[in-house]
Structure 1
């Protein structure tokens, strides 16, 4: 699989992800993160939604967290935001561990903002655009010029002239305009990082490129970092500097976006990419049951659905037994290309993981 996803249409002046700075110190970091939930109907077995994750996001970097529904990526994002307290492990921001006291969390959420998938659901239909954007300022006791701050945020989000939108209601806006209002509501607090959960999933294809271009422009102009949670590898290709592929609570492949998406090493990443129209060839049809966080299999957590194991290729390499019985370590949070796969481990250019 060497064909890359084709980019969505974006303005010619839009900066590319490769132009981002790459400082070495992390802005946001997760180390050994685990989140478990009680089993259904009082069952003794807990659901391991996040089952050991290390992840770093550097200043000015956009990281895409990719995986199918139910893999744990939204729970991981909510944990990084402080909305879910981890069962074990830690989250640090700016080198300091996240403090879960209410006052500390309030200060933290001013610096790290969430952009939700559905702008219609995240905007109060009874609030004007002005009130929707000003809400964060009021919650955090902003004492400056509120009108100027709201106008600046709307302008940065591409709604110009901003005053034209002040008294409008969400139902009077297009889907793209509503998403820009949501983004303005995050920008008004001048955060250092945004967590965008499927930021263009509910938008028409013609609007998606505009929103992606906006996020890239904000990174360039404001030095904004972002974690973009998505199931769409095409979106990751267009916006991210680095990609982390998640499966059943754990990151199974990570690295620079071009390296991972043009030469995927993990069979799961290969399967995700195979269904893109640009991939060519036959899509990989995964067998077995979908992921269940309360029933983590022994060995490689993907082995029960793995096309490499099913085809006999893993046996040819002498790793079939290891795939079924030997667990793989947690990948490091940043650095070069890494893969948690017995079959792929040891191949050129990949950090060995197991």
Structure 2
């Protein structure tokens, strides 16, 4: 349900109990990069997927685009399960486009801007006027007048302009969904703000949905409708961005928020590193680093044993606020 009580639109893209595992080294246990994820993205909605490096965010994003095949579970787009034949994937990738972190690495230095934007049109055999489609995409990405950029090469552009060219290449195919993996991580502060404003404008003007993968909760606050916080292959907290970021319930989300410059109180410094995804611990996967468990708060709430032995349930993919934490559940229990 939406805030005014009307039914929510059906998801454009859904992950259903998604698992992605890679073979372990020398025949060892598999690496469980994505370990049971439900996630929905609705038409025109921006969802931020947040977590530390190595938590599985990029693998999940690639699986949602069909670039990595799930070990178990299902990706559903526009009500239909994703098929992995070459023709089906080619059709899907017209509708769901990837925007990568590093525009310099995404663009061939020998190609002009025109060639970079036209590449997808040529791969998918766009039937219309190619020059007009390239110009329209560049204009939508904020590079105006577009003809002024046709013959330029990447080294002649600023970092923000290069990222706009990458976005224009995605927009040329008129997609319904963008998956942006750390889209502003390599940019300076002013360019970051411009690209975020562009993504918001594209949502408003074109109805584009977006999954924005980031380690930066501040970015999520500025751009997202909903946020999903990921730890060691699983979403541990999700919900409307205002709910999650103003009143975080999971100790991991609280720690991530505490290091933002505007956060009240002292930063929460997590000890140690995330566990090896080939040996995910029993019980709560955050237990080895959890300040609530280490500080005795979980014991006082009567859930310390559950934290060590009982894995929290996998969260649903819907829009309501949810948390996978025994201690957070005990705090709101009657």
TM-score range, shorter chain: over 0.9
Aligned with residue 73 of structure 2, among 89, 109, 116 = 89
Give 2:128's aligned residue: 144
Matched-pair contact (CA < 8 Å) for 1:22–1:59: no
Matched-pair contact (CA < 8 Å) for 2:303–2:330: no
Runs of 4+ in structure 1 off by over 6 angstroms are none
Shift of 1:97: 0.3
Deviations 1:150-171 (A, max 9, x none): 0000000000000000000000
Long gaps (5+) in structure 2: none
Matched-pair contact (CA < 8 Å) for 2:63–2:70: yes
Shift of 1:22: 8.6
Alignment of 1:334-345 (within 5 A): 334-345=318-329
SS of the residue 2:326 aligns to: coil
SS of the residue 1:50 aligns to: strand
Long gaps (5+) in structure 1: 1-17
Give 1:13's aligned residue: none
Alignment of 1:1-354 (within 5 A): 23-40=8-25, 42-348=26-332
TM-score (norm 1): 0.91
Shift of 1:347: 4.2
Matched-pair contact (CA < 8 Å) for 2:301–2:331: no
Deviations 1:264-302 (A, max 9, x none): 000000000111111132111112332321110110000
Deviations 1:216-252 (A, max 9, x none): 0000000000000000001000000000000000000
Matched-pair contact (CA < 8 Å) for 2:232–2:274: no
Matched-pair contact (CA < 8 Å) for 2:141–2:198: yes
Give 1:10's aligned residue: none
CA distance in 1, matches of 2:275, 2:111: 40
CA distance in 2, matches of 1:82, 1:45: 24
SS of the residue 1:221 aligns to: helix
Matched-pair contact (CA < 8 Å) for 1:155–1:161: yes
SS of the residue 1:344 aligns to: helix
Matched-pair contact (CA < 8 Å) for 1:65–1:243: yes
Shift of 1:335: 2.7
Structure 1 vs Structure 2 CA RMSD: 1.5
SS of the residue 2:200 aligns to: helix
SS of the residue 1:182 aligns to: helix
CA distance in 2, matches of 1:336, 1:99: 29
Give 1:6's aligned residue: none
CA distance in 2, matches of 1:326, 1:142: 52
TM-score (norm 2): 0.97
CA distance in 2, matches of 1:332, 1:347: 20
Q: Which one has more relative contact order, counting CA pairs under 8 Å at least 6 apart?
A: 1
CA distance in 2, matches of 1:68, 1:56: 21
Number of matched pairs: 330
Matched-pair contact (CA < 8 Å) for 1:34–1:51: yes
Matched-pair contact (CA < 8 Å) for 1:82–1:100: yes
Matched-pair contact (CA < 8 Å) for 2:284–2:312: yes
CA distance in 2, matches of 1:192, 1:337: 25
